[in-house]
């Protein structure tokens, strides 16, 4: 009687090192997608540039006498940066739905790494790609009267990355259960466009009707746009009246929020959205 030897199959063990490597791999894949997809790069820049130079010029001609000493496009510039990173971050999240349709996502989910590492890599990759895209808009600062001050540029870069991370985490959360690109983009438009319009990206937050003021203060994107605008106005020379009209900040019951608190709110929201997105992926098939 012969005894058949049993061949043991060794499965790779998960661990922190595997998770870190998974984050790097997913991040690297996002960067390759960005570099190789030039159509996506151009298309995500068209809308902010049009709004900045066409809409900004048109609206500026209407309010020129009300805001002496400043171009209205200067006011819109931080909002257009935010719009660029928001659009790019959501497109990065959309690739999850694409991977699901072609079966690549299932291969990632069965890998011996935590799903949290996959989601974190996706969010970091999307945030970096969106920030790089925002740098292109940032290069146009001088055209609209924003100085190329190193301190301002570094501040805007950090705030852009934070805004990009939170919006990518939000998009990843939406994409976790979406089965088709059509469904994702439909939900994305329904969620993002109202948030953009209510963030103060294209109109000042001062002297709004009470109902509109409430909507802007409960809008998460408002807390990402306002620090960018505050940074820009910190390097401009405008009258106190113009500064109060165009850069009033976010006010809660008569109290203007410090910029540090606004950034803290955005960072906390990013952590919450990332955690919920990871939980969604853990329940995904």
Q: Of 60, 48, 36, 222, which Cα lies nearest the Cα of 129? A: 36
The model's pLDDT over 204-213, given as tens digits with 9 standing for 90+, comes to 888 889 999 9
pLDDT at 251 over 70: yes
Q: What average pLDDT does range 131-141 have in this prediction?
A: 88
Min mean pLDDT across 15-29, 118-132, 161-175 is at 15-29
pLDDT of 278: 86
The model's pLDDT over 220-238, given as tens digits with 9 standing for 90+, comes to 999 999 999 999 999 998 8
Q: What average pLDDT does range 95-111 have in this prediction?
A: 65
pLDDT at 65 over 70: yes
Tokens of 165: 């991370």
Name the band, by pLDDT with cuts 50, 70 and 90, for residue 52: confident
Tokens of 168: 């990518």
pLDDT of 1: 47
Tell me what percent of the residues of the chain surpass a pLDDT of 90.
27
Q: How far apart are CA 174 and CA 113, in angstroms?
A: 22
Buried b / exposed e along 157-194 (16+ C-beta atoms within 10 A): eebbbbbbbbbbbbbbbbbbebeeeeebeeebeeebee
Burial bucket for residue 71 (CB in 10 Å: 0-12, 13-18, 19+): middle
The model's pLDDT over 141-175, given as tens digits with 9 standing for 90+, comes to 888 889 999 999 999 999 999 999 999 999 888 88
- What's the pTM? 0.85
Q: How far apart are CA 285 and CA 279, in angstroms?
A: 12
Alpha helices in 103-148 (DSSP H): 104-109, 115-138
Mean pLDDT (the chain, rounded) = 82
pLDDT of 133: 86
């Amino acid at each position: 009687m012969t005894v058949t030897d049993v061949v043991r199959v060794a499965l790779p063990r998960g661990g922190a090192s595997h998770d870190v490597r998974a984050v790097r791999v997913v991040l690297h894949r996002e960067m390759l997608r960005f570099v190789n997809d030039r159509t996506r790069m151009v298309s995500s820049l068209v809308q902010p540039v049009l709004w900045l130079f066409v809409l900004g010029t048109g609206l500026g001609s209407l309010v020129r006498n009300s805001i002496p000493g400043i171009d209205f496009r200067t006011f819109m510039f931080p909002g257009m940066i935010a719009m660029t990173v928001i659009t790019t971050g959501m497109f990065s999240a959309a690739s999850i739905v694409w991977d699901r349709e072609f079966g690549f996502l299932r291969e990632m989910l069965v890998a011996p790494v935590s799903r949290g590492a996959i989601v974190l890599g996706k969010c970091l990759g999307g945030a970096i790609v969106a920030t790089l895209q925002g740098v292109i808009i940032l290069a146009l600062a001088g055209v609209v009267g924003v100085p190329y001050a190193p301190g301002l540029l570094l501040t805007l870069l950090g705030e852009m990355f934070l805004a990009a991370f939170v919006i990518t985490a939000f998009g990843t959360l939406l994409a976790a259960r979406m089965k088709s690109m059509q469904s994702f983009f439909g939900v994305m438009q329904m969620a993002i466009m109202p948030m953009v319009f209510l963030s103060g990206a294209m109109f000042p937050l001062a002297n709004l009707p009470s109902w509109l003021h409430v909507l802007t203060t409960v809008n998460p994107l408002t807390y990402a746009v306002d620090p960018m605008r505050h940074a820009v106005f910190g390097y401009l020379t405008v009258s106190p009246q113009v500064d109060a009209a165009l850069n009033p900040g976010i006010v809660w019951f008569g109290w203007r929020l410090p910029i540090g608190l606004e950034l803290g709110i955005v960072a906390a929201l990013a952590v919450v959205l990332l955690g919920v997105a990871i939980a969604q992926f853990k329940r995904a098939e």
